[in-house]
Chains A and B, each alone.
Chain A
Amino acid sequence: MNSYLLKRVMVLIPVLIGMTIIVFSIIHAIPGDPAETILGQKATEQSKQALREQLGLDKPWLQQYFNYMGELLHGDLGTSIRTKTPIAKEIMPYLAATLELTAASMLFATFVGVNAGILSAWRQNSWFDYTAMIIALIGVSMPIFWLGLMEQLIFALKLHWLPSIGRMDQRNPIETITNLYVLDSLLAGRWDQLWIVIKHLILPSIALGTIPMAIIARMTRSSMLEVMNSDYIRTAKAKGLSQFLVVYKHALKNALIPVLTVVGLQTGALLGGAVLTETIFAWPGVGRYIFEAISSRDYPVIQTGILIIAFIFVFINLLVDLMYAAIDPRINYK
């Protein structure tokens, strides 16, 4: 296992370096003069030169890359052109917002997906099975930005059950400690605020979590069906165990292994979807941070935002691989 871990991490190093090269090249691949693209055609030569110097564009390419890597390794993520603030400092609250949204979406997707999959397999070919699988099929084909808009229309604008945008009631600001509002309101013992925070989380996390939920449900169903036909389940049934125990205790344990991989991969994929969800629900996360940076041509922010999300994506995938090896003793990585 240790040698596998080492090998897996070693393989990652060239990938991570490659990712930094791609992200670094974003600004260099802009056709024409990047300084003019960022500042606009009316900018004076003096301001363009100042920006070139600030971004180091006046130096040779290789030197620029090494400088960029050196800064990254020292935790310097560059400075935003728009706000003139260090990105490392500015991005933290955004990152926390994205993590909170992603975690809530995954919780929803896993809980609903796994249980729907189990029930579908348990009651195979029943009306529940058919309905759940049709919903799963539609869920996979649903554009999340449209689902988000429909949720806003129905649950916020028509029924007024839930807030349509934002992370928190503006008139009732939260005392931030970790920037994870659920945790912050718990730490402050403010149950009233916790409820408001959760109400804000529901619609965006359902929008973001629907595709993974559908994929997890389909995976759990097929995995459960496979396990339910195995000999040890027949034995468990024969010795008179209740259906519930057979399904949730015996079958689920083995059926969950492939599901876990899907859960991990989908968590990574959620980070991409977060850009869209955050735009619709005015959720102040990294996705929205990148989106706003694109409209104001703030390339250092675009670079750093993409790099951070991609790094988290890679890290989650690594974690899934390792968990997979740890959970299933039959997997041999020699």
Chain B
Amino acid sequence: MAQTAINVTPPNVPAEKVSSPWRDAWKAFRKNKTAMVGLYIIVFFVLIAIFAPLIAPYGFKEQVLVNRLKPPSSAHWFGTDDLGRDLFTRVMYGARISLWVGFFSVIASIFVGTILGILAGFYGKWIDMLISRLFDILLAFPSILLAIAIVAILGPSLQNALYAIAIVNIPTYGRLVRAKVLSLKSEEYITAARAIGMTNTRILVTHILPNSLTPIIVQGTLGIATAIIEAAALGFLGLGAQPPDPEWGKMLSDSRQFIQKAPWTVIFPGLSIMLTVLGFNLMGDGLRDVLDPRMKN
């Protein structure tokens, strides 16, 4: 009997070519030009926020009264405000505040929203009824108005503005997670997990949570954009950051009265809000196309 030698050596596959869902998503994301522009804008502002103390030419509280309302120049790239403070410096430090509020308020909303969404979707019955009605009620208010109401109760401060924005946005994530849990619950692999005796907690942590992640990431990215605008709006109304914090919205309201004499005091903080929000919107749209195309529209 003739023996045939069979080559069983596995083909030499380079490690980087192994595909994973995240790697595929990143590949698709990289091809999306507008989404990449969004990512670059975000990275730019994040870097500014991190390195503000190192690169800012002046201190953000540093007042030089003889330099009041000076137009942009080589010494002050964005000009100065009514107290002679360097606007370029203040806009840079403002990135810290806006990104901090945007990021942490969304994390807080996601944390609470996910817990409530899972409780409602997984356990159903009266818990679902109660939580869903609570979401309905919170969503029945225009979000900025509810945030204003919460700050009116807690008192105006940046921290309270963050809490208010976080509370207002809880139902958005809660509903998303609830819907995802409901659709996953009837999947066969969850029934299988139950059949082999997995506990509810384990099913939640190992199966349901990881599978709910994509819509949360997409919504969270777009949510940071909304949170930044809401924080700036509260700041603008005097209900968020308090002086001398260089918050973009507060800077706008403080400089309003000088708009004709010193338009630069209003142009640069506003432009920064718009660009940051645009970055998160572009990236969020791109992530949605890549991770969850069904969410489009």
**A residues in contact (CB < 8 Å) with B:** 14-15, 18-19, 22-23, 26, 29-31, 137-138, 140-143, 145-146, 149-150, 152-153, 157, 219, 222, 258, 268-269, 271-273, 275-276, 279-280, 290-291, 294-295, 299, 302, 306, 309-310, 313-314
Cross-chain contact B297 with A143 (CB below 8 angstroms): no
> Complex formed: what's the CA distance from A258 to B281 in Å?
22
Min CB gap B234→A, angstroms: 10
Cross-chain contact A271 with B142 (CB below 8 angstroms): yes
> Complex formed: what's the CA distance from A222 to B133 in Å?
32
**Residue B110, interface by CB 8 Å:** no
Cross-chain contact B278 with A275 (CB below 8 angstroms): no
Cross-chain contact A314 with B140 (CB below 8 angstroms): yes
Min CB gap B232→A, angstroms: 6
> Complex formed: what's the CA distance from A306 to B267 in Å?
31
B124-168: CB near A (< 8 Å → 1, else 0) gives 000000000110110011111110110011110000000000000
Cross-chain contact B149 with A306 (CB below 8 angstroms): yes
Please classify how large the interface on chain B is, using the bins under 10, 10 to 19, 20 to 34, 35 or more.
35 or more
> Complex formed: what's the CA distance from A291 to B141 in Å?
16
Interface of A is mostly: helix
Partner of A143, one of B134, B256, B270: B270
Partner of A294, one of B136, B148, B236, B252: B148
**Which of chain A's residues has its CB closest to B263's CB?**
A153
Count: A-B pairs, CB below 8 Å: 122
Partner of A152, one of B136, B148, B154, B259: B259
Partner of B252, one of A141, A149, A273: A149
Cross-chain contact B152 with A276 (CB below 8 angstroms): no
Cross-chain pairs A/B with CB under 8 angstroms, 27 sampled: A14-B133, A18-B136, A22-B149, A26-B149, A26-B153, A137-B278, A141-B278, A141-B281, A143-B274, A143-B277, A145-B253, A146-B274, A149-B266, A149-B270, A153-B260, A153-B263, A258-B297, A275-B237, A276-B236, A280-B256, A294-B239, A295-B238, A306-B148, A310-B140, A310-B141, A313-B140, A313-B141
Cross-chain contact A310 with B281 (CB below 8 angstroms): no
In chain B, positions 256-275 with a C-beta closer than 8 Å to chain A are: 256, 259-260, 263, 266-267, 270, 273-274
**Residue B92, interface by CB 8 Å:** no
Chain A residues, Cβ within 8 Å of B239? 294
Cross-chain contact B145 with A272 (CB below 8 angstroms): yes
Chain A residues, Cβ within 8 Å of B259? 149, 152-153, 157
Cross-chain contact A268 with B142 (CB below 8 angstroms): yes
Cross-chain contact A306 with B136 (CB below 8 angstroms): no
**Which of chain B's residues has its CB closest to A20's CB?**
B137
Chain B residues, Cβ within 8 Å of A137? 278, 281-282
